[in-house]
Amino acid sequence: MKGIVFNLLEVVVSKEHGEDAWEGLLEEAGSQGAYTSLGSYPDEELLRLVAAAARVSGRSQDEVLRGFGKSAMPLLAERYPQFFETQSSAYAFLLTLNDIIHPEVRKIYPGADVPVFDFDTPSPNVLLMGYRSQRRLCALAQGFVQGVAAHYRETLSFEHLQCMHDGDEKCSFQITLYRADGGDAAAR
């Protein structure tokens, strides 16, 4: 897992629960805690931190991941504004993941093991999104999607139609996006 994810997690936890909370989590998870976005760290370590956070907060790991994903999005938008500025809706932004954003990630980190999404666009505000990853972090993906919608000031309904955790070969999400003012997000 790329160091940026650990960095984001640190910022999110520190912001929401204070800096000591992050120290506590590191202790709880038995992690050293020195992460740089340029490095890669065992997936295992992220999962331990998530598990620790779940224990400390009394929430499920999925809830922790969703919350983390959603809260991380503004940070990403701040650090990599060009990806957000060139798109005018969550719908359009999500469709750039495979073709623009992940290729960019690979440019910087040639070995980055980014997930592969597949998309189907059955109607102007409905997106069918497939997710495949050995990490099975579909909850994090969901959090990110929610964060994206929030960034564009849209609301969404997120149906998790299939899940790798249930033995399906991939996760599939049906995402319906609405403008926060009640309009349909298709007016891109």
- Cβ atoms of 182 and 164 within 8 Å: the answer is no
- Is 36 a binding residue for other proteins by CB under 8 A? The answer is yes
The pair of three-digit structure tokens given for residue 171, joined into one six-digit string: 């996760």
- Is 111 a binding residue for other proteins by CB under 8 A? The answer is no
Beta carbon of residue 107, minimum distance to other proteins (angstroms, whole number): 4
Report how far Cα 182 is from the mean position of its chain's Cα atoms: 25
Beta carbon of residue 22, minimum distance to other proteins (angstroms, whole number): 12
Beta carbon of residue 103, minimum distance to other proteins (angstroms, whole number): 8
Stretch that binds other proteins, among 62-70, 99-107, 112-120, 121-129 (CB under 8 A): 99-107
Contacts of residue 184, defined as CB under 8 A and 6 or more positions apart, other chains included, come to 124, 125, 178
- Cβ atoms of 84 and 77 within 8 Å: the answer is yes
Stretch that binds other proteins, among 51-59, 62-70, 97-105, 170-178 (CB under 8 A): 97-105
The amino acid sitting at 51 is A
- Cβ atoms of 75 and 37 within 8 Å: the answer is no
Beta carbon of residue 85, minimum distance to other proteins (angstroms, whole number): 12
Closest CA to 87 of 177, 172, 181: 177
- Is 103 a binding residue for other proteins by CB under 8 A? The answer is yes
Q: Which of 16, 42, 108, 187 binds other proteins (CB under 8 A)?
A: 108
The pair of three-digit structure tokens given for residue 109, joined into one six-digit string: 């980190």
The amino acid sitting at 33 is G
User: Tell me, what DSSP letter sits at residue 169?
Assistant: S
Mark 40-79 with x for binding to other proteins (rule: CB under 8 A) and - for no binding: ---------------------------------------x
Residue found under tokens 């919608």: 149
Q: Which of 18, 30, 44, 86 binds other proteins (CB under 8 A)?
A: 86
Which CB sits closer to other proteins, 103 or 183? 103
- Is 99 a binding residue for other proteins by CB under 8 A? The answer is yes
Write phi, then psi, for 56 (nearest 5 degrees).
-65, -40
Q: For binding to other proteins (CB under 8 A), which residues are involved? A: 36-38, 79, 86, 99, 103-104, 107-110
